[in-house]
Every structure is written in C-alpha cells, then in structure tokens.
Amino acid sequence: RWFQEVQTRLTCFGKFSRCIEASKPDIVISVHPLTQDIPIRALKQLDAKGLTPTAQRGEGKTPFVTVVTDLGGAHPCWFDKRADLCFVPSDPVRDVAIKCGMPEGKLRQHGLPLRAGFWTQETRSKEAMRK
C-alpha cells in the first residue's frame, strides 16, 4: 500500500488537485479503492489554502466519503481512516474495514446504490430473455 500511495502521489497529485479545485465540490465521494490517499491529501491542501467552497464559507474541511462497491470482501486500500465516512455494503466488508483499522463510528452499512432499473426482479423466463 505504501508503494502505491507514493507512486500515485508522484504521478497523480497535481491532476487530482487541479480537478478538485476546478469542480469546487461541497463533498468528494470515492467509489474506487485507489482513490483515497490522493484526493484526501489534495482536499487537505486546498482547504488549508481556502480554495474550496467549504473553506471559503468558514466550515472547515471538505467532507470525503468512501462508498465501497465490493460485496463479499474488499482490498485494504478502500479503508483510509482520514475519510469522514465509509459506506460498506455487507457484514463481511464491514469486518474487513474494522480489521484494516477503520473506526466503527465512521462506518455506515447500506446496500450498494443501484439505479431504479434494477429495483425490481426480472419476471421473464430465461428463454424470453435470451431473445
């Protein structure tokens, strides 16, 4: 994990910082395990310089939230203690988060966010679906 963080800092930090500064977010939500360290560092720097809407309003730091999209298990890179909240989809992923040192107070367990088209179960037969 250390090597990955150093390598991405060298290659991606500037790009992430410019993107975050340009988009002026009120919150940053990560849905990928390798986008924890860099955006958190970039937000900290931008907030300190007063370059985010949150800092400009005098509200402190811009919230950073992780939404883990792995169902049954998760890579440790998902879990950064500096995140303000971490949404996990299942008990096994919650257990991994805790083993990785994520404070329980920052964990929220919910299912994965799905668009409305997936809310109902398909009732057509397999044969009809193949056509």
Where do the domains of the chain lie? 2-130
Tally Cβ neighbours within 10 Å of residue 127: 7
Question: What's this model's pTM, rounded to 2 decimal places?
Answer: 0.80
Band the pLDDT of 1: cuts 50, 70, 90.
low
What is the average pLDDT across 85-101?
A: 96
Q: What are phi and psi of 109, to 5 degrees?
A: -100, 120
- Is residue 39 packed enough to be buried (19+ CB in 10 Å), middle (13-18) or exposed (0-12)? buried
Tally Cβ neighbours within 10 Å of residue 69: 16
Please report the pLDDT score of residue 71 as a whole number.
85
State the Cα torsion 125-127-130-131 to the nearest 10°.
-100
What is the average pLDDT across 13-32?
A: 93
Sign of CA dihedral 60, 99, 7, 24: negative
Cα 71 to Cα 93: distance, rounded to the nearest angstrom:
7
Please say if the pLDDT value at position 88 is more than 80.
Answer: yes
Mean pLDDT of the chain: 89
pLDDT in tens, 60-77: 899 999 999 988 889 999
pLDDT > 90: what percent of the chain? 64
What is the average pLDDT across 111-115?
A: 75
Amino acid letter, 29:
I
Band the pLDDT of 32: cuts 50, 70, 90.
very high
